[in-house]
Amino acid sequence: MKAPFNEVISGFVSLLTGMGITLGQLFRPIVTVQYPHQTLTMPKRFRGHILLKKEPTTGKSTCVACDLCVKACPSDCILVEGEKKPGEKRKSVTLFELDYTKCSLCGACVEVCPVDALEYSRAYNLASTSKQEYKVMDLVKRLEDSKHP
Amino acid sequence: MLKVLDTSHSTGPQETFVLNLGPQHPATHGVLRVKLTMDGEFITNAEIVCGYIHREHEKMGENRKWDQFLPNTSRIDYLSAMMYTHAYVAVVEKAAGIQVPRRAEYVRVLTSEMNRITSHLLWWGAFLIDLGGLTPMLYAFDDREMVLDLLEALTGARLTFCYYRFGGLCDDVTDDFLTGTRKFVKHFRPRLKIFRRLVTDNIIVRKRLEDLGHVPAEMCRKYGATGPMIRGAGVAYDVRRAEPYSVYPELEFDIPTQPAGDNMARYLVRMAEMEQSLRIIEQTLDKMPDGPFMAKVPRILRPPAGDYVFAVESARGRFEVRVVSSGKEIPHRVRLRSPCFCNLSVFEEACRGMLLADALALMGSIDLVIPDIDR
């Protein structure tokens, strides 16, 4: 006779404790962000897809088309072509294509680059109606189109 | 001769039927299928069908260079990505004879333990959803976000960190990260007390977990179940102590065990492990040595021919990597021993005779990560 009665009491205590904690939580600051009206800034080291860096003095990429990133890539998603222009010591990049559908964002290409020509993008809101847009990302064109230094 | 099932003579209790749990079932947290032979509400037999998310990680390791397998390591068990990467880098370091700087080792232990906390918090939330309580998940994710934000600022990713490299780390820890971690430790201890009052002491949780889903130590040994499974059966087996690696021997921590072997025991072990992880994090923060975070490593790695094994304690148990090198740029064999596969195999025997709803609680308490089972 006593056991069920005890159970009711302990159940009621459990319920009140839970509700008390929930009530306390009500007065704590809000931890969520009202996306998409508010967004968080991505940290400096955030690994988005790669981009060619812009050299501030020339406005061009420092990439020398050495193919090290192509060899380092575990997913085989980079294609680089370059040519040696007359009067220049090293090759310069003419084509840099990223197949973002295969990229696993490991950063092997950024780390291996001898001239530090690659950087991570902070973009995380990526969406498109066509797969082709990510299948072939022309990074040289992106670099030329980008306004900011 | 074709045998036709004659139902006219069958009496109720002898009739069984097959119930498919999964492959798309919320309680299995992924694509796992369990064929349950049911006698009414009771399970008489269970057959696990796995392989729905098999991705050939082992084979992938064998057809690319040593360092190109690194991103894969965070995708096997995506909830303990740090520990898995640790096992792989450590086995290659062992093979190639690379000495890791002490600072890197401390950072590895620190980030691994933070990863363990996020993993246990996710399990806690998801497990309680399985049991029918939605609120605790929000509490768990509130705190988990804090750790993930810290790790994201440090490594650049929230889940597939890929932070360790052969010989060290890909980047040094920042002061912001260290102060942020200290703040988190301070914040999280009282939160664990709240969790205890909100959930652990709750009578509904106790009724659903206590004395149900017995997995005794012998059964764990039979199937090779490790981690909180065997510690919840009263055996203090932890790879961090049994086969000490990295700087764990220099750190003070206990191995929480519970003798009961039921769902509640495994629950309590994990909750206690989070406290121990906090202890380890505090010690690594205090002892963090200065110095380089990366050793000198040749650009093209060719470990001498041989057979190398390294095990770590992941959030779910013993994770072991075995690599066979033939002295080339590409490994000859990569073998991954994942804890979830062994932990899951206990389920078939342990769930016999249980009610279906209780078996789901047992499955939740095993803490499965399906990609880790299938690899």
Domain definitions of chain A by residue range: 1-31, 50-145
Tell me which residues of chain A have a pLDDT lower than 70: 1, 147-149
Q: What is the DSSP pairing of strand A137-138 with strand B333-337? A: unpaired
Contact predicate B160/B84, CB 8 Å? no
Query: Given a cut of 90, is residue B111 above it in pLDDT?
Result: yes
- CATH number, residue B122: 1.10.645.10
Question: Rg for chain A (alpha carbons), in Å?
Answer: 27
Give which of A9, A23, A42, A45 to mutate to test B binding, by max B Cβ within 10 Å: A45
Residues near A148 by beta carbon (within 8 Å), at least 6 away in sequence: none
The answer regarding whether domain A50-145 maps to CATH 3.40.50.300 reads: no
Report the alpha-carbon angle A106-B125-A41, nearest 5.
45
Q: Which helix (H) or strand (E) holds B299?
A: none
Is the model more confident about B5 or about B328? B328
The three state secondary structure string of B143-176 is HHHHHHHHHHHHHCCCCCCCCEECCEECCCCCHH
Q: Classify residue B162 as left (phi > 0), alpha (psi -120 to 50) or beta.
A: left
Give which of A44, A106, A121, A122 to mutate to test B binding, by max B Cβ within 10 Å: A106
> What is residue B2's predicted lDDT score, i.e. its pLDDT?
43
Domain total of chain B: 1
pTM: 0.88
**Chain B: residue nearest A29 by CA?**
B142
Query: Given a cut of 50, is residue B361 above it in pLDDT?
Result: yes
Give how far the C-alpha of residue B54 lies from the chain's centroid of Cα atoms, to the nearest Å. 18
Residue B142 lies in a domain: yes
Q: CB contacts < 8 Å between A and B, how many? A: 64
B303 φ, ψ (degrees, to nearest 5): -60, 145
Q: What is the DSSP pairing of strand A50-52 with strand A118-120? A: antiparallel
Q: Classify residue A116 as left (phi > 0), alpha (psi -120 to 50) or beta.
A: left
Query: What is the pLDDT of chain B when averaged over all its residues?
Result: 87
Query: Given a cut of 50, is residue B1 above it in pLDDT?
Result: no
Query: Given a cut of 90, is residue B120 above it in pLDDT?
Result: yes
For residue A11, how many other CB atoms are within 10 A of its CB?
14
First and final CA of chain B: distance in angstroms? 43
Question: Rg for chain B (alpha carbons), in Å?
Answer: 22
ipTM of the complex: 0.83
Residue B92 lies in a domain: yes
What dihedral do alpha carbons B137, B140, B145, B151 form, nearest 10°? Answer: -130
Report the alpha-carbon angle A120-A122-A123, nearest 5.
115
Amino acid residing at A59: G
Residue B228 lies in a domain: yes
B171 touches chain A (CB under 8 A): yes
Per DSSP, A49 falls in state S
A39 touches chain B (CB under 8 A): no
Specify the long-range contacts of residues A23-28, CB closer than 8 Å, at least 24 apart: A25/B139
- Beginning with the edge strand found earlier in the chain, give each strand of the sheet holding A78-83 in spatial order: A78-83, A92-98, A137-138
Place of tokens 């093979």: B95
> What is residue B12's predicted lDDT score, i.e. its pLDDT?
55
Cα dihedral B199, B203, B204, B208 sign? positive
**Chain B: residue nearest A7 by CA?**
B203
Residues near B98 by beta carbon (within 8 Å), at least 6 away in sequence: B92, B166, B167, B295, B297
Q: For residue B311, give the 3-state DSSP assignment.
A: strand
Contact predicate B178/B287, CB 8 Å? no
Which chain B residues touch A3 with a CB distance below 8 Å? none
Nearest by CB to A120, from B72, B154, B156: name it: B156
pLDDT, average across residues B176-202: 89
- Per the CB < 8 Å rule, is B198 touching A47? no
> What is residue B27's predicted lDDT score, i.e. its pLDDT?
67
d(CA B362, CA A88): 68
Residue B40 lies in a domain: no
State the maximum Cα–Cα separation within chain B, in Å, rounded to a whole number.
80
Domain coverage including residue B156: 60-301
Write the pLDDT tens digit of every residue in A100-133: 888 888 888 888 888 888 888 888 888 889 888 8
First and final CA of chain A: distance in angstroms? 80
Write the pLDDT tens digit of every residue in B27-83: 667 788 889 888 888 888 899 888 888 888 999 889 888 888 988 888 888 888 999
Residue B116 lies in a domain: yes
Contact predicate B144/B124, CB 8 Å? no
Q: For residue B318, give the 3-state DSSP assignment.
A: strand
d(CA B199, CA B137): 11
